[in-house]
Amino acid sequence: MRAVLMAGGSGTRLRPLTCDLPKPMVPILNRPIAEHIIDLLKRHQIREVIATLHYLPDVMRDYFQDGSEFGVQMTYAVEEDQPLGTAGCVKNIAELLDDTFLVISGDSVTDFDLSAAIEFHYRKGSKATLVLTRVPNPIEFGVVITDDQGNIKRFLEKPSSSEIFSDTVNTGIYILEPEVLKYLPENEEADFSKDLFPLLLEKGEPMYGYVADGYWCDVGHLDAYREAQYAGLSRKVKLEFAYTERAPGLWIGENTYIDPSARIETPVIIGNNCRIGSRVTIEAGTAIGDNVTIGGEADLKRPIIWNGAMIGDEVHLRACVIARGARIDRRSHVLEGAVVGPLSTVGEEALISPNVRVWPSKSVEAGATLNTNLIWGYTAHRNLFGQRGVSGLANVDVIPEFAVKLGAAYGSTLKPGSQVTVSRDQRTISRMVSRSMIAGLMSVGINIQNLEATAIPVARSVVPTLGVAGGLHIRIHPDKSDHIVIEFFDRNQSGELQSRLSNDTSAIQNAVTVNVSMSLRWFVSRRQNTPLQYSLSLTFVIT
């Protein structure tokens, strides 16, 4: 029997792990999900595998090649122009399917008895057999209801809580006869659950559901990915390990050094060529890939660390994912559910908050606290305020969501019911940010006087006359046309500045004269190596 391995998905919900990997190549226990599926097929004597590819197809082809190293014969079918859907991609290779065949999803982790399902298919004389399983919460899956004989009576794809009528769901594993493909159009997108199976039901074709026992997990999102990893380590699912089990629940690869003072609580998997430093604590559920370095006194509580990562001294990792080649510097913390993408760097003593995702090749500055996903731009900075207020790349660092939070944070420092002026320049991006800031301020009970497009000297000077608690101005950075600046000023500072300008002209004149004289003396002495004196006469007229 041949198997069709559907491996074309882009894994959007698994990003940033799938930014440079197709979903079937994401590692579980340091081996790609697709490799675990091939192991399952081999256990049930299925050794001819046709993989349908679309997203980053070369990654999978380069890994498996002809399949001989994995004990199977691999063939590839690439959807060049557009994705054809789960059924459309199988229709595309119909000429290779001249006998009963099995279809299996490339993003699931399971140990189902496929031989029993195939025997059920033949015994029932079915044209299409769906392998089903029972789950506690079927909302995320396609629900299928069968009668006592296994005949499928009804489908419902991803029901709402009020529509659930069964706990048996579609696992994406099908045993099909080749003639069912005649119901599918050529070179058009089609889905098994939405298109083919309802049509077979309408045509009266014999179609059955086989409820399988065993473990099954659809690795569709990051929580499921971590759960599948932990299930593999605790042996809730039967998976093959790539390393020798050196002690019960402890798998360690070749050429790996573990300092004698390190404390390891099983089950744990550690790959080849790793270095574990002194007094490292590794708790149960931790997975460490190949060529990983763990610095001294690091504290690892159930992280998943991919190949080539570098973990510094005294780093704390908590149920997170550290992707390929990432670097976590000394005393940093990466908390529950966070993901650090491939080749990214987290600086010393930085903090990645729970469920925050860092996209590939990003940098988190030393000491920074990252509370939102780092997708655009390159760096997460430690300090929010610079010399000119809050500054950042427009629509990259300073986005509407950020502006709303900043406005709310500023408003929370004022008394409820206070008034604040908001002004901006005439650029469209400034208008967008000002509206977001207004939304944030109003969300914490601040009243707004919107000055709209106003020059910043005017906006600053009206603050004391209007009797408001403060003001803010949004404009394009004067030196960087792609940056936006948010400047804050309060009533007291504006009043003091105006008073000094009115009453202390001589002091300002003297200060400016001294500064200019010193600057010129330094400049000339640097150019001619000669101390020259310049006499300056500056006249100020302040009205």
The domain made up of 241-379 has a fold known as UDP N-Acetylglucosamine Acyltransferase; domain 1 (2.160.10)
pLDDT confidence of residue 463: 85
Q: Please state whether the predicted TM-score (pTM) of the whole model is above 0.75.
A: no
For residue 402, the model assigns a pLDDT of: 85
pLDDT tens digits, 508-528: 333 333 333 333 333 333 334
Higher pLDDT, 311 or 197: 311
Lowest mean pLDDT among 153-162, 269-278, 410-419: 153-162
pLDDT tens figures, 435-464 = 999 999 999 999 999 999 988 888 888 888
Element (H, E) at 433: helix 428-443
> What is the structure's pLDDT at 515?
37
Domain range list for the chain? 2-218, 241-379, 385-491, 504-543
* Neighbour order of strands in the sheet with 250-252: 244-247, 250-252, 268-270, 287-288, 304-305, 321-322, 339-340, 357-358
CATH number among 3.20.20.30, 3.90.550.10, 3.40.640.10, 3.30.750.24, domain 2-218: 3.90.550.10
Name the CATH architecture for the domain at 385-491: 3-Layer(aba) Sandwich (3.40)
Residue 175 reports pLDDT greater than 90: yes
Q: What percentage of the chain reaches a pLDDT higher than 90?
A: 48
Cα–Cα separations (whole angstroms), residue 250 to 246, 270, 414, 455, 459: 6, 8, 56, 67, 66
- Range from 147-151, 197-201, 308-312, 494-498 carrying the lowest mean pLDDT: 494-498
pLDDT band at 409 (very low <50, low <70, confident <90, very high): confident
pLDDT tens for 380-402 read: 555 566 666 787 778 777 888 88
Q: In what order do the strands lie in the sheet with 470-476?
A: 385-386, 389-393, 483-490, 470-476, 419-424, 447-453
- Residue 155: predicted pLDDT: 74
**Given pLDDT bands bounded at 50, 70 and 90, which one contains residue 377?**
low
pLDDT above 50 (res 168): yes
H or E element that contains 516: helix 505-528
Reported as a pLDDT band with limits 50, 70 and 90, residue 160 is: low
Would you list the DSSP string of 53-108?
E-SSHHHHHHHHTTSGGGTSEEEEEE--SS--HHHHHHHTTGGG--S-EEEEETTE
- Average of per-residue pLDDT values in the chain: 83
Q: Given this model, what pLDDT does residue 111 score?
A: 92
